[in-house]
Amino acid sequence: DRQKLGRMRRLSSKLASGEKVLLQANLELPAELPLIAQSGAAGIGLLRTEFLFINSEELPDETTQFELYASLVEAMGADTTTIRVLDWGGEKPSEALERAGLSTLGETPNPALGLRGIRLLLKHPALLETQLAAILRASAVGPLQVLLPMVTVAEEITAARDIYERVARRLRRKGVALAETLPPFGAMIETPAAALTAGVLAHHADFLAIGTNDLTMYALAADRASADAASLYDARHPAVLRMIADVVNAALQHRTPVSLCGEIAGDPALAPLLVGLGLRSLSMTASAVPRVKQVIRSVRYEECVRLGRRVLAETDSRAIMKVLQEFGNAEV
């Protein structure tokens, strides 16, 4: 079976009925890069840049960031790298941010509902400007996209985009090489507000990426890291799945590309359902790619759509699990 999975790397990622499904990898640390090559992932669907800010005493400067982004983009060749700007929420201490006076850790009763992700960056725009400048410089090396974390309202996208365009103009004036057209500028959908107004966000963003790890947490009011809430924390809850379906429909209506990059993207049992809800692009832990590809290659589009309809008709996670199990058993 391992050998079979090893061969998956070279096989195309298509449904049995022929439709292409893009499978990409999430990258949390540069050390995972060799795993991506082995997995057969078609690019990086989510580069989490937190490691640059958490594991150091100083804030990374533009050149340090540029060199790292450029090396990853280069390693991906013709495949796209989606770089998410800093999503710091105070859940992990960062000496660099604390020293720079940017950390609100210890002052906020509930960091997950405080100055997280894009909120922190817009409060301290210099942080965002430096990161965007480094990303824009890396765009001269190969295809990339920029992704904003923890978006709740459209104004966050427009405010960040203003900064993005201003930074690009400044770099061009200085004669710095950038991609000819600015890389796509997208928003993560990981709050219920963003999911329920995805149409508005799709209008302002060049692409959407559904982050089900946080979306599940905020939808079910169940901390993703809390043992007490673990039994509730389940992306198969109908509330979460309906939001995913709504986001995909809104994105399709606006012709805005949409992908999903939460942990569930790497669950082979959920892959046919996600396709059935309309997704054609999934980003996951690199090690999950071969197995998910195997499942993708074994199912037909119509079956996935039928599964999606059946699942959305259910009213609780347990019933949904049963439907998914039956589908899986019928497959093998």
Binding residues for phosphoenolpyruvate, as ranges, are 48, 84, 213-214, 224
Between 5 and 263, CB nearer to ligand PEP: 263
Question: Could you tell me the smallest distance in angstroms from the CB atom of residue 48 to Mg ion?
Answer: 9
Check 178, 261, 299, 304 and give the catalytic one. Answer: 261
- Find the part of the chain contacting Mg ion (CB under 5 A) among 131-139, 186-194, 264-272, 289-297: 186-194
Asked if 212 interacts with ligand PEP (CB under 6 A), we say yes
Asked if 213 interacts with ligand PEP (CB under 6 A), we say yes
DSSP state of 241: H
- Find the part of the chain contacting ligand PEP (CB under 6 A) among 126-134, 210-218, 272-280, 304-312: 210-218
Contact 87, 54 (CB under 8 A): no
Question: Could you tell me the smallest distance in angstroms from the CB atom of residue 150 to ligand PEP?
Answer: 8
Residue positions forming the annotated binding site for Mg(2+): 190, 214
**Beta-carbon count within 10 A of 13 CB:** 19
Cα of 128 vs its chain's centroid, Å: 18
Asked if 214 interacts with Mg ion (CB under 5 A), we say yes
**Which parts of 236-275 interact with ligand PEP (CB under 6 A)?**
261-262
> Which positions ≥6 away from 126 have C-beta within 8 Å?
none
Beta bridge partners of 144: 81
261 binds, among ligand PEP, Mg ion, none (CB under 5 to 8 A by kind): ligand PEP
Residue 283, classed as helix, strand or coil, is: strand
Give the residue ranges of DSSP H helices in 83-153: 95-99, 118-123, 125-138
Phi, psi for residue 92 in degrees, rounded to 5:
-120, 135
Between 214 and 267, CB nearer to Mg ion: 214
By CB under 6 A, name the one of 156, 190, 267, 303 that touches ligand PEP: 190
239-275 burial, b for 16+ CB within 10 Å, e for fewer? ebbbbbbbbbebbeebebbbbbbbbbbbbbbbbbbbb
Alpha-carbon torsion 318, 320, 323, 329, what sign? Answer: negative
- Which residue number places its CB atom closest to ligand PEP? 211
Binding residues for ligand PEP, rule CB under 6 A, total 10
Between 116 and 161, CB nearer to ligand PEP: 116
**Beta-carbon count within 10 A of 12 CB:** 11
CA atoms of 313 and 310, how far apart (whole Å): 5
Asked if 211 interacts with Mg ion (CB under 5 A), we say yes
- And the tokens for 213? 């790890």
Residue 304 annotated in active site: no
Q: Which residues are catalytic?
A: 261
- Report the interface residues with ligand PEP, using CB under 6 A: 46, 48, 87, 190, 211-214, 261-262
